[in-house]
Amino acid sequence: MTTTPLTDTDLRHVERAVELAGEALRAGDEPFGSVLTGADGHLLRAARNRVRTGGDGTRHPEFELARWAAEHLDAYERRRTVVFTSGEHCPMCAAAHGWAGMGRIVYAHSSAQLTRWLAEIGVAPSPVAPLRIQEVVPGADTVGPLPAFTARLRTMHHACHAGRDRTA
């Protein structure tokens, strides 16, 4: 946890991650998007969810960014990265982030919020426990959730599951 305030540049990166979540939704995937920045705030890589169109439940953007960072950045550069993401990392992505030795995570909605939204919709719970990032990566530097983005993201998740995956 940290108390370092977000800058206008940080918020633009969050906005981009949320836009990518919207792109994923329009493409038929789940509404999650993420961007990876370097130490000076420049954009290194962007990714969006591809679980449905990719036919692979591990196609999360945060996982893709961790793999990209491991392949393209050295350990020093990875520690100084920031991941801006529409939704808090799931345990798989948090673990990948931790194993890759990456830096701060800024997320717009939390896993706890997503769990509540899916319950509202009547979607079956995730097969993976919705642990907080710190439960997977103790000491992780995180900021979130960000209330300014909550309503948009909740609407996207409702739209994603409208008419499908209902348990009732």
Site of interaction with Zn ion (CB under 5 A): 60, 90, 92-93
User: Which residues face 48 on adjacent strands?
Assistant: 33
SS3 state of residue 119: helix
Taking the complex as a whole, the smallest distance from the CB of residue 16 to Zn ion amounts, in Å, to: 18
Helix (H) or strand (E) holding 82: strand 82-87
In the complex with Zn ion, the residue whose CB is nearer, 119 or 128, is 128
127 prior amide bond cis, ω within 30: no
Contact 118, 65 (CB under 8 A): no
Q: Determine the residue type at 2.
A: T
Q: Determine the residue type at 109.
A: H
145 prior amide bond cis, ω within 30: yes
In the complex with Zn ion, the residue whose CB is nearer, 9 or 135, is 135
In the complex with Zn ion, the residue whose CB is nearer, 16 or 60, is 60
Taking the complex as a whole, the smallest distance from the CB of residue 86 to Zn ion amounts, in Å, to: 11
Residue carrying structure tokens 């946890």: 1
In the complex with Zn ion, the residue whose CB is nearer, 93 or 121, is 93
Taking the complex as a whole, the smallest distance from the CB of residue 8 to Zn ion amounts, in Å, to: 27
Taking the complex as a whole, the smallest distance from the CB of residue 76 to Zn ion amounts, in Å, to: 25
